[in-house]
Amino acid sequence: MPDHQPVNIVMIEDDEGHARLIEKNIRRAGISNTIHHFVDGTSALDFLYENADGPSRNGPAMILLDLNLPDMSGTDILVKIKAENSALRRTPVVVLTTTDDKVEIQRCYDLGCNVYITKPVNYENFADAIRQLGLFLSVIQVPAPDPA
């Protein structure tokens, strides 16, 4: 079993402006981990499960997940990741979305999300929230995926 592997951050976010802001402010918080950015669920799931560099084959990950994607719902992705037979079921998922509907928030926690963050509309508040997320990412422990 390999020694401590760096945690890859998988960001599934279709809004390029939000993605740039998220990455910039995670970097400002001192996080230098590799960030793999995907703008749709299909390519993200392919990376997560099929790619040789993806977390199911190559070490631990943290997933930043937007719910509103062009090809599928973020909750569909969450269901796949947290399924009982998924190698990534213990992978932390941070839902990072504009949706602040209480029913949707409860649903995401019921499906296994670890953290739910509503993106603030105001730029400075959004940037501050992401910097705080970066600080959070710097201290958490992430489990390795289950062996295939």
Query: Which amino acid makes up residue 107?
Result: R
Pure H helices in 2-114:
16-28, 41-49, 74-82, 102-111
Would you state the pLDDT for residue 4?
57
Q: What is the pLDDT of residues 69-103, one digit of tens each?
A: 999 999 999 999 999 989 999 999 999 999 899 99
Would you state the pLDDT for residue 65?
97
SS3 75: helix
Would you state the pLDDT for residue 1?
39
pTM of the model: 0.90
Would you state the pLDDT for residue 71?
97
SS3 61: strand
Q: Residues of the chain whose pLDDT is less than 70?
A: 1-5, 148
SS3 100: coil
